Structure 1
Amino acid sequence: MAADGIEGEEIEVSGIVQGVGFRPFVHRLATRLGIRGTVRNAGDRVVIHAGGARATLDAFAAALAAEAPVLARVEAVTRRPALPPGDGFRIVESGPGTVSVGVVPDVATCPACRAEIADPNARRHRYAFTNCTDCGPRFSIVTGLPYDRPATTMAGFAMCPACRAEYDDPADRRFHAQPIACPDCGPRLWLEGVEADGTDPLAHAAALLRAGRILAVKGIGGFHIACDATNAAAVETLRARKHRPTKPLAVMADLATARALCFLSPEEEAALAHPSAPILLLRLRPGGPLALGVAPGQAVLGLMLPYTPLHHMLVAQTGGPLVMTSGNRSSAPQIFRDEEARAGLSGIVDGFLMHDRPIARRLDDSVARFAAGGLRVMRRGRGLAPMPLRLPADFAEAPPVLAMGGELKSALCLTHGAKALLSHHLGDLDEPATGDAFDAALADYSALFVHHPEVVAVDLHPDYRASRLGIALAEARGLRLERIQHHHAHIAAAMAEAGWRRSDGPVVGIALDGLGLGDDGTAWGAEVLVCDYRVSRRAARLAPIPLAGGDAASREPWRVLLAHLDRALGRSAVDADPRLAGLFAGKAISTLRAMMDKRLNAPLASSAGRLFDAASCLLGLAPDRLSHEGEAAMALEALAAGDAAPYPFALESAGGPMEIDPAPLWRAMHADLAARRPRADMAAAFHAGLAEAFVAAAARISEKEGIGTVALSGGVFQNARLLEETARRLAARGLATLVPAEVPANDGGLAFGQAVVAAARHIS
């Protein structure tokens, strides 16, 4: 201690503290409290040499976590004695250290910047690229590390003197804000494909949208296609041009309009206004101004608030909600490069609202919904990626892993020490352009985060593009390879997100999914597993049925319904029922039955996703051929209303895994159709029956194995009604439940599960 009562400390702050304005925050805090010393970056930490009275140092250390910038995530504050520093407080040059996960996601416009663009006297009045250290583009503009302006797509914009003064001033909220810009030196907007009318591009774009035109709008992570969400003709035209007949369209609106369109809880309002600004699935208010074609047949709407100055001004000037759907052709990835947009969207849109800030990588909007008491991420994209996830406490010594994910909703996962980096949503790898995006993302993440894997994890399915690529990568580099069963990975992801340690032992896992290759070489998709991180055992399954036509059955629900009804009722009863005859009229029923009898292109599968498709088809909700994944299941969820007694399933144990037989369900539904029971009741009873059957099976297995925790995962658990029914019934039986939240329950979270399984298998 110095003679004047000043003590010295070295304080390390670890977590997400890079690129979030943490050093200027420390400078302002130190100035306020009278702390002397320095602050510097050191890899993924901030190191502070602080001096002050003991009580002041304690208050300073506490405030580092309690008052941290909105984008920061303080994981630890470590204090060590040191010599007292000199007078004053300075920000000094960064020290050495590897930033392995040092980039934060893109962040919605902060209140201060929103006020600035609305202020006629401000330098950035109505400037579409206003940002500061608390908001703006981050991951979408980064081209390398460390995160400095030359390593972003802002490198080509030289700062004007006014911006440079703000950038260099530690007391300014734009101190070291790498995307800093203003009308004098930053990116600019323009309109293409339409004649200029003398107004500014934003005002002209708003006028075109009000007039029913369709525009491509370049945003942060890619292009959107926008139109007036209250204009039925514009929405129908967009659907026709994009060949998207029924898939719901996302809407952007201000908070007042969101309240008019949807029922909003305080938690949902907070989620909408969060810096990540996701698309949130919200319950639609009946009779609202929205065009019926925006979300046909749905009880929920995907809605987001404006999250850039451009969006705020565009929504304000159009005066109503806008459809803001991905700028792509049907099934293709979202476009994020200018020339690709001009070529790929010219037949869909009437014009382009463009800007000249390049986008470094495509980032789809994140999607989430509230269910079972919490916010559940369904798609991890702009605003969430690449925020790292913490691994459970006893994974710190795991080798670095690269996990390749699955075929649909693909995403990568890289682990580094106690953290996992789950990539943004990349898309479906059966689409060639998505395959190219996947290759680019693999190279991008590996280089950007300086990742050197020792283990590569892949799905069991040998034909997945991601699996083939991972196997080739492991062979070429001499890395260890782990093949991991699809549903084991799903359950492991739920375990790891919940902080379940390896030492906590096994859980019972309910995995409800579309299809994934099982350990026995057949297609699984509705299982109860007993598993820890290293191993998994199938303890129960949905009784399998043949998928006539293989992949065709995933696109044509009537094929699956035929197999279920033939098994439950008998073919003669199916053929004799005139109500069923209409469902199968004009279809090659005899051929399909012959295929199923001979097991010719009719693999057995125990899929919950296909069960939903079949039930939706029986109730007349599903088209003969689905236009998008989940279409039939979404319609069934939207129809279900009220409480209903569960439809019955049979639980059979005859050696091997318990079988959950849906035949009683189909007989009950068939009888209810004859009795003209309301379809909404039948849909509710279906959800309740599926939940009760799997909970009953899980409870038996839990009791037998002496396990008190059940993990839920798989894409079918995106269905809020099913998730809530299942969680409630498990709680009623006294079973603890692990439910995914930050990690998607669908295949977007698969790579995270693969990564922790592979890591656990290689911890000595």
Structure 2
Amino acid sequence: MSVVAATGASREPSARLRIRLRGAVQGVGFRPFAYGLAARYGLSGFALNDGEGLLLEIEGARHEDFLSALRREKPPLATIDSIDVERIDLCGDSDFSIRESAGGRSQTRIVADAATCEACLDELFDATSRFHLYPFITCTHCGPRFTISSSLPYDRPQTSMAPFAMCADCARDYADPRSRRFHAETIACPTCGPRLDVEPGVIVERIRAGAIVAVKGIGGYHLMCDARNAGAVAELRRRKERDAKPFAIMAANAASLALFAEPTEAELDLIQHRARPIVVVKSRGTPAPAIAPRLTRIGVMLPYAPLHHLLFHAAAGFPAGRDWREEANDFVIVATSANPGGEPLVVDDADARRRLSSIADLIVGHDRAIVVRADDSVAAVVDCAPAFLRRARGYTPDPIDLGADGPCVVALGAHLKTTVTVTRGREAFVSQHIGDLDDAESVRFFDETLRHLLSILDVTPEAVACDLHPDFYSTRLAEEMELPLLRAQHHAAHVAAIAAEHGVSGPALGVALDGYGMGDDRGAWGGELMRVDGSTWTRLGHLAPLALPGGDRAAREPWRMGMAALAAIGRLELAERLFPEAALADKIAESLRRGMAPKTTSMGRLFDAAAALAGVCLEQRYEGQAAMEFEALVEAPRTLPGAFALRDGVLDFSPLLSLIATERPSPREAAEFFHGALIEGCAEWIAATAQAQGHSRVALGGGCMMNRILAEGLVEALRLRGLFPLLARAVPCNDGGLSLGQAAMARAAFAAAEREKESAACA
């Protein structure tokens, strides 16, 4: 790296300060920012990246002005965790320079990928700019970071930009402190940078003609088609083997989204966040009915890569100026992860040709490698604040502050919606969404993610945590790591995750409303009220058990849970009328009469039972379909006297199930009665236990808390009872946040073991 001097530095310094910045301070334009401040205040010294973050030395009379501006005006992508200042001897420098990065054990971090900034968009569509229509335009304030980085410090040789030697113009910008690309490691232009295989105009033509196009993006390939073309959407479903699970759509801007969706102001703010997540909002009538079948909400996002903007520019007819960027555009595309059959996201060009050729009519790649695959993040606004359904691109690897230093632990999640978490010091780094560990490709992605996270953080784990279930791949891997091992109960980890992100120390009361997790008794738990204290947990209550006819098949075939509900209320004679198409209904009924099926306390299966009894969903083609379609029917939850019973910590909704089965309300009425009863029943259950245990704060976790009506209704009901509910914000409430809770519990267990050792030594 060349050394660049700032002119106008003070010749008569009054003090020299060494300033250490830790946090997200690399790859965000902090060195050129410091350079500019030094020039502004006439200071000499230097800036460099190293393993701990950013090291500055400044010398001159106005050093206090420099420090104030450093805190007040930091670059937009930067996060400063700490600033340590030390007064040192004067050196008499005459300039300020940016020095080559220093090595050493990494204590810093890479920031998450960020959407293209407005300044770059202005250049992208400026015919006089050398970046005009260049699909890889970036600067120090935007573009890929995490997904192109192999190691730290964050410098070009450690990224997938290393093969692209800068041309004279880019080298000049890189060295020019007046340029927005001063020391921008991703700088490139049409002369020297990555290249796209197919022109944006051609891509748009094919999409408009009904084709399915695979397009390489920031964290992986997307499969794209015209969202208003019902035939194209249906064909994408057929080829991808995704019968009914909702797709997300991408629109040009907020005005365009308004044609298809009705986001609130808070949702629009989230949609426009620099991470550009998919946000689930109220639909105005989806562009094609097959986008989100039988749902009233739809996932929407805005363009975040230069290529996305170029597609909408082409769709608008290649207009000049910038007015078109704010105008409504009815060109809207399905943009879904390119992962056939539930496999991991495709990121490699050769792999794309192998795995996507049977799905896509056109495959569009480029020659900048994706080092780390990352799906689009998915979020919603719940109780007036963002909540993740899936945390990945744009947010990973932003850490979660655990409040105090602790040992380095690695937590491996469970089996579904898997993530891994690695802790370093007081921070927890939760990986991007990995997915379900159902096949070899997913397992390879899991291993790849764990290796990369450990490498990028430059840590050696001292302990490992996993789920109780002995047959998960993640559990077997944890057992092979030969480290102190904590087997965390699934639902206790859900509660611990929320307690950790909210900084709750000491015992925590929480509820986990979930689909499945193995209990201490090896049973199928899923509706649990728990007290979690460090690494220990106590089950304080649970939902009344229902039979689980067929085991795992009951989660795919809600009619089976409907049969279990009929058995629970003693009305199995209704099975023939309610489930006439179920070929095995008679056999299931007989096994239920004989008490041969296992039991479950799962809230997810309770949702399935109610949806089946109401005739809403008898077979599921994707996880959570019955619950999502049941939720979509609700206009407002209704209270229903006598809908539940609460005895000795057991919450029983048999009266509610009996009403749905015998009185046959309409599907909408059934959904509204069900949600109202759930809210009221859970609030009474939690409040009674909180009073008995002496708690005022309650963590609300588990996958069922993704149900916005249930989550917001329960939060309001608990507040009315004088409690302080805590929702998952930093990680998903579903199993995507499980590894964070496991990590927090493992740190507590490790610390307790160390204290015992010290006590034994003292004795």
TM-score normalised by L of structure 1: 0.92
Matched, 1:386 2:386: no
Cα shift at 1:87: 3.3
Q: Structure 1, residues 608-637: CA drift from partner, whole Å, max 9, x if none?
A: 111111222222221x43111111111111
Give 2:613's aligned residue.
618
Change (3 A) 1:243 1:500: same
Which piece of structure 1 moves more, 255-264 or 545-554? 255-264
Q: Please list, as runs of the form range in 1=range in 2, the aligned pairs for 1:392-471 lying within 5 A after superposition.
A: 393=403, 395-396=404-405, 398-471=406-479
Which piece of structure 1 moves more, 219-228 or 31-40? 31-40
Indicate if the aligned counterparts of 1:19 and 1:104 stay in contact, CA closer than 8 A: yes
Q: Structure 1, residues 477-515: CA drift from partner, whole Å, max 9, x if none?
A: xx11111000110111001111223xxx22220110100
Matched, 1:173 2:183: no
SS in 1 for 2:85: strand
Indicate if the aligned counterparts of 2:266 and 2:384 stay in contact, CA closer than 8 A: no
Partners of 1:679 and 1:556 in 2: CA distance: 18
**Equivalent residue for 1:132, pick from 129, 139, 164:** 139
Give 2:704's aligned residue.
716
SS in 1 for 2:192: coil
Indicate if the aligned counterparts of 1:646 and 1:688 stay in contact, CA closer than 8 A: yes
Cα shift at 1:565: 1.6
Give 2:228's aligned residue.
230
Indicate if the aligned counterparts of 1:19 and 1:102 stay in contact, CA closer than 8 A: no
Matched, 1:366 2:361: no
SS in 1 for 2:197: strand
Indicate if the aligned counterparts of 1:228 and 1:321 stay in contact, CA closer than 8 A: yes
SS in 2 for 1:355: coil
Give 1:197's aligned residue.
none
SS in 2 for 1:131: coil
Q: Please list, as runs of the form range in 1=range in 2, the aligned pairs for 1:103-502 lying within 5 A after superposition.
A: 103-191=110-198, 201-255=199-253, 256-286=255-285, 290-319=287-316, 320-391=331-402, 393=403, 395-396=404-405, 398-474=406-482, 479-501=483-505
Change (3 A) 1:232 1:257: same
**Equivalent residue for 2:585, pick from 564, 572, 589:** 589
Give 1:564's aligned residue.
565
Indicate if the aligned counterparts of 1:189 and 1:356 stay in contact, CA closer than 8 A: yes
Cα shift at 1:97: 4.1
Partners of 2:578 and 2:666 in 1: CA distance: 19
Give 2:714's aligned residue.
726
Partners of 1:726 and 1:704 in 2: CA distance: 19
Indicate if the aligned counterparts of 2:578 and 2:613 stay in contact, CA closer than 8 A: no
Indicate if the aligned counterparts of 1:641 and 1:681 stay in contact, CA closer than 8 A: no
Partners of 1:758 and 1:426 in 2: CA distance: 21
Change (3 A) 1:586 1:633: closer
Matched, 1:16 2:4: no
Equivalent residue pairs, number: 727
Cα shift at 1:4: 5.8
Indicate if the aligned counterparts of 2:35 and 2:98 stay in contact, CA closer than 8 A: yes
Identity rate, percent: 40
Cα shift at 1:685: 2.2
Q: Structure 1, residues 392-440: CA drift from partner, whole Å, max 9, x if none?
A: x2x31x2110101010001110001111110001110023321121122
SS in 1 for 2:342: coil
SS in 1 for 2:148: coil
Partners of 1:62 and 1:685 in 2: CA distance: 57
Change (3 A) 1:489 1:647: farther
Indicate if the aligned counterparts of 2:381 and 2:387 stay in contact, CA closer than 8 A: yes
Give 1:79's aligned residue.
85
Cα shift at 1:546: 1.7
Partners of 1:383 and 1:406 in 2: CA distance: 23
Q: Structure 1, residues 339-370: CA drift from partner, whole Å, max 9, x if none?
A: 22112211211111221111112211110000
**Equivalent residue for 2:42, pick from 16, 34, 51:** 34
Indicate if the aligned counterparts of 1:556 and 1:625 stay in contact, CA closer than 8 A: yes
Partners of 1:528 and 1:151 in 2: CA distance: 47
Give 2:652's aligned residue.
661
Change (3 A) 1:18 1:507: same
SS in 1 for 2:500: helix
Consecutive unaligned residues in structure 2, runs of 5 or more: 1-9, 317-330, 756-763
Change (3 A) 1:450 1:553: same
SS in 2 for 1:711: strand
Cα shift at 1:604: 1.1
**Equivalent residue for 1:628, pick from 622, 628, 635:** 622
Q: Structure 1, residues 19-74: CA drift from partner, whole Å, max 9, x if none?
A: 21111111112222333332222323322222344xx4333223222221121111
Partners of 1:329 and 1:621 in 2: CA distance: 28
Change (3 A) 1:260 1:84: farther
Give 2:323's aligned residue.
none
Indicate if the aligned counterparts of 1:209 and 1:318 stay in contact, CA closer than 8 A: no
Letter in 2 for 1:157: F
Q: Structure 1, residues 58-95: CA drift from partner, whole Å, max 9, x if none?
A: 33223222221121111222333333453332222334
Letter in 1 for 2:268: E
Partners of 2:560 and 2:641 in 1: CA distance: 22
Partners of 1:598 and 1:72 in 2: CA distance: 63
Letter in 1 for 2:262: F
Change (3 A) 1:647 1:667: farther
Indicate if the aligned counterparts of 2:616 and 2:630 stay in contact, CA closer than 8 A: yes
SS in 1 for 2:186: coil
Q: Please list, as runs of the form range in 1=range in 2, the aligned pairs for 1:514-553 lying within 5 A after superposition.
A: 514-553=515-554
Q: Structure 1, residues 569-588: CA drift from partner, whole Å, max 9, x if none?
A: 4323x25xxxx614243421
Partners of 2:577 and 2:462 in 1: CA distance: 57
Cα shift at 1:266: 2.6
Partners of 2:518 and 2:449 in 1: CA distance: 25
Partners of 2:147 and 2:383 in 1: CA distance: 32
Indicate if the aligned counterparts of 2:645 and 2:653 stay in contact, CA closer than 8 A: no
Indicate if the aligned counterparts of 1:315 and 1:322 stay in contact, CA closer than 8 A: no
Change (3 A) 1:5 1:28: closer
**Equivalent residue for 1:57, pick from 51, 57, 63:** 63
SS in 2 for 1:435: helix
Partners of 1:144 and 1:643 in 2: CA distance: 50
Give 1:606's aligned residue.
601
Q: Structure 1, residues 156-176: CA drift from partner, whole Å, max 9, x if none?
A: 211111111112233322122
Cα shift at 1:272: 1.5
Letter in 2 for 1:619: A
Change (3 A) 1:565 1:120: same
Letter in 2 for 1:661: D
TM-score normalised by L of structure 2: 0.92
Letter in 1 for 2:307: L
Indicate if the aligned counterparts of 1:695 and 1:730 stay in contact, CA closer than 8 A: yes
Indicate if the aligned counterparts of 1:646 and 1:692 stay in contact, CA closer than 8 A: no
Cα shift at 1:13: 1.9
CA RMSD of aligned residues (A): 1.9
Cα shift at 1:690: 1.1
Letter in 1 for 2:601: S
Which piece of structure 1 moves more, 117-126 or 93-102? 93-102
Q: Structure 1, residues 494-551: CA drift from partner, whole Å, max 9, x if none?
A: 01111223xxx22220110100001121111001111222211111100111211111
Indicate if the aligned counterparts of 2:113 and 2:147 stay in contact, CA closer than 8 A: yes
Matched, 1:762 2:750: yes
Change (3 A) 1:629 1:647: farther
Change (3 A) 1:329 1:94: closer
Change (3 A) 1:433 1:584: farther
Partners of 1:267 and 1:390 in 2: CA distance: 25
Indicate if the aligned counterparts of 1:446 and 1:452 stay in contact, CA closer than 8 A: yes
Cα shift at 1:592: 1.7
